[in-house]
Amino acid sequence: MSVTEQDVRAAAPANTPEDVLAWVAEVAALTTPDAIEFSDGTQEEWDRLTSLMVETGVFTRLNEEKRPNSFLARSLPSDVARVESRTFICSEKEEDAGPTNHWADPVEMKATLKEKFTGCMKGRTMYVIPFSMGPLGGPISQLGIEISDSPYVVCNMRIMTRMGKEAMDLIAEGKPWVPAVHSVGVPLEDGQEDTTWPCNDEKYITHFPETNEIWSFGSGYGGNALLGKKCFALRIASTMAKRDGWMAEHMLILRLTRESDGRQFHITAAFPSACGKTNLAMLEPTIPGYKVETVGDDIAWMRPGPDGRLYAINPEAGFFGVAPGTSYSTNPMAMETMKANSIFTNVALTDDGDVWWEGIDGEVPAHLIDWHGNDWTPESGEKAAHPNSRFTVPASQCPIICSDWEAPEGVAVDAILFGGRRASNVPLVAEQYEPAHGVFIGASVASEVTAAATDVKAGALRHDPFAMLPFCGYNMADYWGHWLDMQAKLGDKFPKAYQVNWFRKDDEGNWLWPGYGDNSRVLDWIVRRVAGEVEAIDGVTGRYPKFEDFNLDGLDVTEESWAKLFHICPDAWAAEMDDTEEYFKTFGDKVPAPILEQLAKFRERIAAARD
Ligand code: GTP
Ligand code: SPV
Ligand code: MN
């Protein structure tokens, strides 16, 4: 027997408003689940669902002494990351999705979805998950309700968002909310046994920006399934932000406090997926005199405040971070954050019931169970953890979480960084010449592709403007225009932009910059620039630090390797600008004139450098 409207009413908390009840009943009638539950976000619910998933084999409970209240899940090889080719922006006009998004006609897509979702929850429980992105009731925060047939999603949403009763209370007060429907897309026939990672080979991650709706079918993984994250907080929110004069960005947020005068600086940074946002957000400075506190590691919502400055909140409540490469030497604060109450997906399991991945501290174990669930030894020749395996952890467990990370009004941003993985050409750091140049820096970001999406070739260089290529819910060129509008609105209070690159290599393929904690040296220069305490040298890509101003104490960086870090090859940059021009052409006449002017100015600087 599938869920009826009476069942919906019986299961719903007493204060559930009529519009929510009607929507849930409608989705239940379409998807025909066997049971329905409204998530309340309590510990009791977590305990019950995690135990249920241990029973059904979805979760492996980790060693209670080493990793209390923590679980391992293994997905299928066909469902390990975002699928960009199956992600759709269904705006009425194709040009509003733009050339960087997959567009689908909203009426046609709704018809397809209707077919896909019909009966898709048969044999399963439908979970109704009210959540807030951002602190509950905050002026920048937003509400949503995800319907999902995956208990794995419920538990992840409990970590990643403010989920449950309080969110429903706000919805009951009449605040707007975003409806988001998710199904793994595997109905169970009577008597059919479930698998530990149900998912459908056909996937649809769809967004309807004009009606603020999200429908996701076929995947249980990460950004495909935790709909508050990329689908809402970036794709839908970016379109809302354009409409309403704010910004939704793929950015970390950190606070840097300078001990000498107690001055606080807030920095946001947009790096593409798996390019070091979590690392920078939890940085341990290798130079004295600074304290870093984490506000967020993936998404920033920014709005002009009453003083005309730009204020940022982290809409998330947890971190969904890349596991491989994370260790006490690369990111000790992330290691501390995941000591308990965590979900690990697609990492390896040790013989004593703990987690392992490539790049974690210590010796490589002689035996593991790999992410497929198979025996693994160092001789296996394959990775034990999937390159996009991740930890889901409560942000509140981070030892350096900022005391103001839940400040409803956010923190005032002092500088904005743009980066990517660039083995060549892009220097360690460069400051914008003028605001439009800052937007040009963001618009011309290119980066080597990582494992964070399944269907793009890892390693290849691709344009990823503002690290938003997979996440901008509307035409990317209009998004650049929105940035220019926001800059114009805030004037000289709009933070300056900096281009950074931790990933430059020498001819032998060695990193030219030690990175990680030593990135504090770059932040040190940036905040001294923000404070107007240090000069910069004009160059081709922007303004660079003077060697003597930059803190290299205790580092093995000679003047020679410094020169390599900042070396500009005019031919290479001329080629890069030709490529950028070609890229801009794909947006037709939508590219804002100030961006094209910046391209011309860039070429003038290349020409001057040749003289
Ligand atoms: P998403 O969660 O996918 O949006 O990505 P993220 O930007 O938060 O990715 P994350 O911080 O997990 O990126 C980790 C990857 O960046 C690992 O491969 C790290 O080794 C690498 N990384 C981070 N910081 C540095 C650095 O300073 N230098 C070098 N060489 N690699 C770095
Ligand atoms: C990213 O790919 O940028 C992520 C991971 O942060 S996911 O939430 O899966 O999109
Ligand atoms: Mn991300």
207 closest CA partner among 181, 185, 186, 245: 181
Q: What's the confidence (pLDDT) of residue 475?
A: 98
DSSP characters for 591-605? S-HHHHHHHHHHHHH
Ligand 2 within 6 A of CB of 277: no
Q: How far apart are CA 116 and CA 262, in angstroms?
A: 57
CA 374 remoteness from chain centre:
30
Ligand 2 within 6 A of CB of 275: no
Which mutation among 153, 229, 271, 389 tests ligand 2's pocket best, with the greatest number of atoms within 8 A of CB?
A: 229
Spacing, Cα 587 to ligand 1 middle (Å): 30
Of all atoms in ligand 2, which is nearest to the CA of residue 221?
A: 9
Of all atoms in ligand 1, which is nearest to the CA of residue 518?
A: 27
Q: What's the confidence (pLDDT) of residue 455?
A: 78
Spacing, Cα 278 to ligand 1 middle (Å): 7
Spacing, Cα 237 to ligand 3 middle (Å): 15
Residues with CB in 5 Å of ion ligand 3: 273, 298
CA 226 remoteness from chain centre:
12
Ligand 1 within 6 A of CB of 518: no
Q: What's the confidence (pLDDT) of residue 118?
A: 98
Q: How far apart are CA 11 and CA 189, in angstroms?
A: 24
Of all atoms in ligand 2, which is nearest to the CA of residue 471?
A: 3
Of all atoms in ligand 2, which is nearest to the CA of residue 453?
A: 2
CB atoms inside a 10 Å sphere around CB 203: 22
The alpha helices in 320-459, defined as continuous H runs, are 332-337, 435-443
516's tokens: 């990680």
Q: What's the confidence (pLDDT) of residue 450?
A: 82
464's tokens: 């990823």
Ligand 1 within 6 A of CB of 515: yes
Positive or negative: CA dihedral 83, 88, 499, 412: negative
Positive or negative: CA dihedral 396, 398, 138, 344: negative
Which mutation among 278, 449, 506 tests ligand 1's pocket best, with the greatest number of atoms within 8 A of CB?
A: 278
Question: Are the C-beta atoms of 441 and 499 separated by less than 8 Å?
Answer: yes
Ligand 2 within 6 A of CB of 321: no
Ligand 2 within 6 A of CB of 390: no
Of all atoms in ligand 1, which is nearest to the CA of residue 519?
A: 27
Ligand 2 within 6 A of CB of 223: yes
Name the closest ligand to CA 284: 1
Spacing, Cα 461 to ligand 2 middle (Å): 18
Look up tokens 């925060």; give the residue: 141
Write the CA distances from 572 to 13, 377, 419, 534, 596, integer angstroms.
Answer: 62, 44, 18, 29, 19
Cα angle: 353, vertex 43, 389; to 5 degrees: 40
Grouped pLDDT means (10 residues each) for the chain, 611 residues? 94 96 98 98 98 98 98 98 97 98 98 98 98 97 98 98 98 97 97 96 98 98 98 98 98 98 98 96 97 98 98 98 97 98 98 98 98 97 97 98 98 98 97 98 94 79 96 98 98 98 94 96 98 98 97 92 95 96 98 98 97 82
Question: Are the C-beta atoms of 509 and 502 separated by less than 8 Å?
Answer: no
Residue 3 DSSP symbol: P
SS3 176: coil
Q: How far apart are CA 325 and CA 385, in angstroms?
A: 11
User: Which one of the listed residues 90, 120, 155, 275 is annotated catalytic?
Assistant: 275
Cα within 13 Å of Cα(241), Cβ side? 31
Residue 582 DSSP symbol: H
Ligand 2 within 6 A of CB of 235: no
Ligand 1 within 6 A of CB of 416: no
The pTM for the full model equals: 0.98
Q: What's the confidence (pLDDT) of residue 304?
A: 98
Q: How far apart are CA 419 and CA 267, in angstroms?
A: 13
Write the CA distances from 80 to 37, 273, 452, integer angstroms.
Answer: 27, 14, 9
Residue 589 DSSP symbol: G
> Ligand 1: which residue has its CA nearest to atom 30?
503
> Ligand 2: which residue has its CA nearest to atom 4?
273
Ligand 1 within 6 A of CB of 452: yes
Q: How far apart are CA 334 and CA 355, in angstroms?
A: 14
Residue 90 is among the residues annotated as catalytic for this protein: no
Environment class of 156 (CB within 10 Å of its CB; exposed 0-12, middle 13-18, buried 19+): buried
Residue 583 φ/ψ region, left for φ over 0, alpha for ψ in the -120 to 50 degree band, beta for the rest: alpha
Which pLDDT tens digit goes with each residue over 342-381? 999 999 999 999 999 999 999 999 999 999 999 999 999 9
Question: Are the C-beta atoms of 411 and 295 separated by less than 8 Å?
Answer: yes
Q: What's the confidence (pLDDT) of residue 460?
A: 85
Name the closest ligand to CA 226: 2
Spacing, Cα 311 to ligand 1 middle (Å): 25
What's phi and psi for 289, nearest 5 deg?
A: 100, 0
> Ligand 2: which residue has its CA nearest to atom 7?
223
Q: How far apart are CA 155 and CA 54, in angstroms?
A: 13
> Ligand 2: which residue has its CA nearest to atom 8?
223
Ligand 1 within 6 A of CB of 391: no
Q: How far apart are CA 470 and CA 84, in angstroms?
A: 7
SS3 543: strand
Q: How far apart are CA 93 and CA 105, in angstroms?
A: 8
Strands, E assignment, 465-519: 496-500
Q: Position 137: which residue type?
A: G
Q: What's the confidence (pLDDT) of residue 327?
A: 97
Q: How far apart are CA 318 and CA 393, in angstroms?
A: 5
252 closest CA partner among 272, 268, 230: 268
Of all atoms in ligand 1, which is nearest to the CA of residue 272?
A: 7
Name the closest ligand to CA 447: 1
